[in-house]
Structure 1
Amino acid sequence: MTADPSLSNDGLKVAELIKSGEDQAKAIERAPGVWESRGVGNSYLLTTPEGDVVVNAGTLGDARRGREQFAEVSKNPIRYIILTQSHANQYGGLEVYKTPDNLVVAHKTYPEDRVYSEVLSPHYRRGSGRVFGGITRNLGDITPTKEVAPDLLIGDEGLAFVLGGRRFEVIHTPGGETRSAVIVWLPEEKIAVVGNLFGPLFGNHPNLNTLRGDKPRWALQFIDSIKTLRALKPELVLTGHEEIRGAEHIEREVTRIIDSVQWVHDRTVEGMNAGKDLSTLMREISTPPELTLTEEYGKVAWNVRAIWHEYTGWYDPARGLTELYGVRASSVAPAIAELAGGAERLAERAKAFVAEEKPLEALHLLDVALAAEPGSELARQVKREALTLLLAQTGGKNLWERMSIAAEIRDLDV
């Protein structure tokens, strides 16, 4: 069943961008002296007569390939390596570029980010594996063999320096994917290297709280960081995966992103104050046409949930008092199945929901059926049908959603 192409990562823009470096033979010159090596996270070489600056090392595999590509366009020593955030597709290849003669630069919160990500490494890797396992391929190409600590930690005020006549500014943008996020600004050329400040896709709803379980981003902090970029009036923005050109285009699209996330934030807060429950707000809130962003990575409904949790935490009274305790709803599944006449009867009713094109209602019933009787072939088959219908209804355009559904179907084959 998992051979179904709709369950693969084919056609997903994020997946295509992540894999785009696999066949790259040469560094791409995005502007004079600005070279790009593509990968799970793009790396950039900014050249000067007195030495070069690398922005983001990429994963370990990316760095091994990128170092060779950069060596073909510049024989200068690398003086600085600047990390735009604390994910493995930025720091993973540090050991490839690090020498005693260069400085690794990161925000002062970077070490804290690395500590908690290592403490929770098995948790995060499980979450990432379910979504990205078929995209990033070999884990050994991502995971560094040793930790390389920053040489220079900068404060919230940022850092400015001149190298070989080229001015660099490092600006803190804590609303990025990690608290240590920064952008590298070349003021004289109006070029901003922003990493994954927007997430992997420009013009997409940000993923304020990813399904793999990262620390959530705060909506207003994200907005403030994007405003910081807009105030620079860049003419070229280089993200972790894309290039965005044209001052007017950038300002227009950046403003739309700001206004769209602000809209979702404000409607969520209004709904909370009006006494609406979270599920209702997730269903009801949508952006007006002029503020519509793509939902290939983040989604409006998920950001409603992230904003709700940002302000109120994990407890949702609408889910009942049992949320306060460690006894799961599935603990009563055998009793419910018994009352219904068995797991098969629940599965049959779930199949009727599928026929009515109500896959989520079917999945609720199937959770009970399979908790009561995990080996029920009928329940497993109906769940496969419900998940396939859900994928068709959602369109399969969101990476997290499609690959999560694919993982659920894959689990049924175990």
Structure 2
Amino acid sequence: MAEGFASTGDLGEKNVSFTKLGEGAYAYTAEGDPNTGVIIGDEGVMVIDTQATPYMAGDVLRKIREITDKPVKFALLSHYHAVRVLGAAAFDPENIISSRLTLEMIEERGQQDWDSEFGRFPRLFQGHETIPGLTWPTIVFDQKLTVDLGNRKVEIMHVGKGHTQGDTIAWLPEEKVLYAGDLVEYGATPYTGDAHLAEWPATLEKLRALKPNKLVPGRGDALESAEKCEEAISQTRAFITDLYSNAQEAVAKGWDLQTLFNKCRETMAPKYGHWVIYEHCMPFDVARAYDEAKGKVRPTIWTAERDREMWGALNQG
């Protein structure tokens, strides 16, 4: 396993790319760190996921300002995890959009999530002192919302549970560009600590049915062909299926969490161990899969204390 707790030892800087996917459609990616999407219309800009701190979001904003001086009309939260949302203040958006189920997560566990994630991966919280507080949506929707940026309509949808209960995508139907958040990863390990694993594959099938030509995953490179989009969706589904199948087997056979963790390490590392943040994610992933397989539908809230207790127990084994 990785030395030390979670990713506290990960201090290396990443190379940033700002990829144009189509007219007014961009992806800010950084070698497996959390991605940000940017959509530009005639009247303004939408930012999809805003980095972990305003300081770090400042680099995204600088990239936007190299292209346009139009105001940031909307910040969209693809879900609620601190590394995705706490940088929103840097963009001074007119409105912040989330699904209703994402708002519920903020209300229930927003502060605990912030504390937990900061402890796990401090490099992703550079300039943490610039965070003004939790990021709260000003527009909340249930299933679908269409936003007009001026000659550019963006379909915002909650198509099902997966990475979290409130996962939200942004879809440009004419260009067939999909901003998938952490529902889809590419060359990066899905984090499933707050996931709904039994439902995630069906949600991925809904994304597949859109037949995207280009896709921005939560982590990993922006994908610029239908073949690469299909590859990313398939890889993500395979990981989720393998993880949850192992957990279901463990519960059926009466294994404890440590035995399941060892089994997953043995069977999954040869397939996925080269993916970004694999060692970081697996203890949290296995713990959640075990809970869900035992019938715990709603994920237990992760706290900084729970993180370290679980990590220490599994890695000592």
TM score, norm. by length of structure 1: 0.59
**Correspondence list, 1:139-288, <5 A:** 139-141=128-130, 143=131, 145-146=132-133, 149-155=136-142, 157-198=143-184, 201-209=185-193, 216-241=194-219, 242-285=221-264, 287=267
Q: Larger RCO: Structure 1 or Structure 2 (Cα < 8 Å, ≥ 6 residues apart)?
A: 2
Q: 1:115 aligns with which of 101, 107, 119?
A: 107
Q: Tell me, in whole angstroms, the C-alpha distance in 2 between the residues paired with 1:147 and 1:361.
A: 31
1:186-234 Cα deviation digits (max 9, x unpaired): 1111111122224xx524442222xxxxxx3121222223222222111
Specify whether residues 264 and 53 from structure 1 end up closer, same or farther in structure 2 by C-alpha distance, changes over 3 A only.
Answer: closer
Gaps of 5+ in 2: 297-312
CA shift at 1:55, angstroms?
A: 1.8
Task: Give SS of 1:238's match.
Answer: strand
Query: CA-atom RMSD, angstroms?
Result: 3.5
Greater strand fraction, Structure 1 or Structure 2: 2
Cα shift at 1:108: 0.9
Equivalent positions of 1:12-411 (< 5 A) are: 16=13, 19-21=14-16, 28-37=19-28, 41-58=34-51, 59-98=53-92, 102-120=94-112, 124-125=114-115, 127-134=116-123, 136-141=125-130, 143=131, 145-146=132-133, 149-155=136-142, 157-198=143-184, 201-209=185-193, 216-241=194-219, 242-285=221-264, 287=267, 292-294=271-273, 295-298=275-278, 303-312=285-294
* Cα distance change on mapping 1:254 and 1:274 into 2, 3 Å: same
Structure having the larger proportion of residues in helix? 1
The one-letter amino acid paired with 1:310 is E
Task: Please state whether the residue corresponding to 1:116 is helix, strand or coil.
Answer: helix
Q: CA deviation at 1:154?
A: 0.7
Greater Cα radius of gyration, structure 1 or 2:
1
Contact map agreement 1:264 1:287 (CA 8 A) in 2: no
**Identity level (%):** 20
Q: CA offsets, 1:306-365, max 9 Å, x none? A: 222113279xxxxxxxxxxxxxxxxxxxxxxxxxxxxxxxxxxxxxxxxxxxxx99957x
What's the CA shift for 1:302?
5.7
Rounded to whole Å, the distance in 1 between the matches of 2:58 and 2:35 is 13
- Are the aligned partners of 2:215 and 2:224 in contact in 1 as well (CA < 8 Å)? yes
Hey, what's the Cα distance between the residues in 2 that align with 1:250 and 1:190? 11
CA gap of 1:130–1:194, structure 2 versus 1, over 3 A, is same
Looking at structure 1, the residues matched to 247 and 134 of structure 2 have their Cα atoms a distance apart, in angstroms, of 41
Q: 2: distance between equivalents of 1:50 and 1:247?
A: 29
Q: Whole-Å Cα distance in 2 between the matches of residues 205 and 140 of structure 1? A: 28
Partner SS state of residue 166, structure 2: coil
Q: Secondary structure at the match of 1:120?
A: helix
Q: Distance in 2 between matches of 1:361 and 1:193?
A: 34
Please report how far the alpha carbon of residue 114 of structure 1 lies from its aligned counterpart in structure 2 after TM superposition. 1.8
What is the CA distance between 1:56 and its match in structure 2? 2.4
Distance 1:106 1:134 in 2: 26
Q: What are structure 1's unaligned runs of at least 5 residues?
A: 210-215, 315-359, 365-414
Shift of 1:247: 0.8
Change (3 A) 1:64 1:271: closer
Which deviations, in whole Å up to 9, do the C-alpha atoms of 1:120-172 show, x marking residues without a partner?
Answer: 36xx52x434432255443224x2x25553221110x2222444332311121
Which secondary structure state, in structure 1, belongs to the residue aligned with residue 66 of structure 2?
helix
Q: How many positions carry a matched residue from both structures?
A: 287
Q: Does the CA contact (< 8 Å) of 1:46 and 1:52 recur in 2?
A: yes
**Secondary structure of the corresponding residue to residue 170 of structure 2:** strand
AA matched with 1:79: K
Give the drift of 1:106: 1.0
By how many angstroms is 1:300 displaced?
Answer: 6.1
